[in-house]
Amino acid sequence: MKISPKFCRTQNAISIFFTGLMLTIGGFMFQQDSSADDSSKFTYAAISFTPDSQKLVFNRSKSNRSDRSYIHILDLKTKVLSYYQSPVNQSWYAAKFSPSGKQVVFVMAPRVPGTLPKEDKNQLYPDWGNAQIAIMDADGRNVRLLTNTSGYKMAPNFSWSGKKVIFTQGEMRAPGSKSIAAGLDAYEIDLESGNIQQLTDFRFFQMGRPSYLPGDEQFVVFADGPSKIPGVARGDNPAYWRNAEKKYNNSQVYVFNARSGSQELEPLFSQLFNAGDPVVDAKGNLYFMASDGRTLRHYQSMKDGVLRNYLFLSSSSQFRGLTLQPRYSEVAPDGSHLAVVTGSRNPSDYSGIFLLDFATDRWEEIHVPVEARLINP
C-alpha cells in the first residue's frame, strides 16, 4: 500500500483525575476541591471535541496517582464544565463522542489496592493491564463493555459512520520502564456484531490514538519503534529501523488500510523532520507537528495536497515564560481549531489547554473552571 504525502498528522493519549468536596448548588451537583481556587491546580489529558466542535472533552486530575479519574466536558461558549462520575472501583478516561453525539466510547480501568513499592496499599490505583474499552450514552447511562480481555488498551475512537470503534492494545511493561506498555497495535470493534479484528501487526513501542479517514476504509496514527517488520529477521530490526528513520527523516505518521490484511511501514511527510501526532477532521484534512529542519510547527495537510503551517504553541510570544510541552492534541471536526494539552513530564512543565484558531493563526489558553456539574447523578 503506497500513500502519496498529501496528508499530515497529530496525536492523543491518557490521564488520571481529582476528587473533591461535593456541593449542591441551584439543584445541580458540583464537585470542588476546597484547597484549589484556579484550574492551574490540575493536570489535563486525553483531549477531544464533541461532534459539533463546540465543546472540549478531556480528563482532569491532581498530581496524586491515586486520585479518582473523571471525564470532563467544557462548553467553549458558556464555559460551563460538567463531568461523568465513575464508580469508586473504576477509572474512566480518554473519552470520544460518536459522530451523532449520542454515545461516548472510553477506556475503563479497574482500581485496585497499591502493589508497587511507592504505592499506598490502602489506596486504589488504576490497573492499566486489565483496562477495557467501554461505551455509554451521552447522559452517562447504559454503560457496557466492548472488550473483556486482559492487556493494556488505550485511545478509542469512533469511525465517521459511527458503526466501528478503533483502539490500541499492547502488553504492560515492568514497573519502572520508560513506557507503561509496548507491543502496540491497532484493533477494530464492529459495534453491530461485537467482533474484534486486529488491523496491524507491527508491535510498536509507541502508538497514539488512531483516527479514521472519511469512508472508514483508512486510518491515520502516530506510531514508533516496530519490533515486528515483515521480511526482516527480529535480530536485524534495530539496524533496519535506524536506516528507515534516516530515509524518512524520523517521520512517525502512518496511514493504514483498515480493510487490507497487508500493511506497509511507509510513513508520510518525510519531506519534513520528526513528523508526528496526526489527527483528522470530518473532511479528511490531516493535522500534525513537524520540523522544517529549523523550527517545529503545526501543519495542516489538505485533501487537495496543499500543505499549510502554523505557529508552534511554545514559539508564541503570548506565552513567554511558560514551559509548554504538547502531550495530547485533537482537531475540531469542522477543522476550525486545534486543541492541545500541555503536560507535566517535568516539574517545570505547565499543564493547560490551548486552542489554535486556524483562521487567525493565534493561540488562546482555555481557563477551565474549578467547579463542575455532575452529568450522571
What pLDDT does residue 344 have? 56
Identify the CA nearest to 268 among candidates 1, 6, 12: 6
Q: Which CATH number among 2.120.10.30, 2.60.260.20, 3.40.50.300, 3.40.710.10 corresponds to the domain 21-374?
A: 2.120.10.30
What does the pLDDT look like over 284-329, one tens digit per residue?
999 999 998 888 889 999 877 789 999 887 666 666 656 677 788 9
Q: At residue 276, what are phi and psi to the nearest 5 degrees? A: -165, 180
Low-confidence ranges of the chain (pLDDT < 70): 1-40, 63-67, 117, 176, 314-323, 344-349
What pLDDT does residue 322 have? 63
Q: Where are the domains of the chain?
A: 21-374
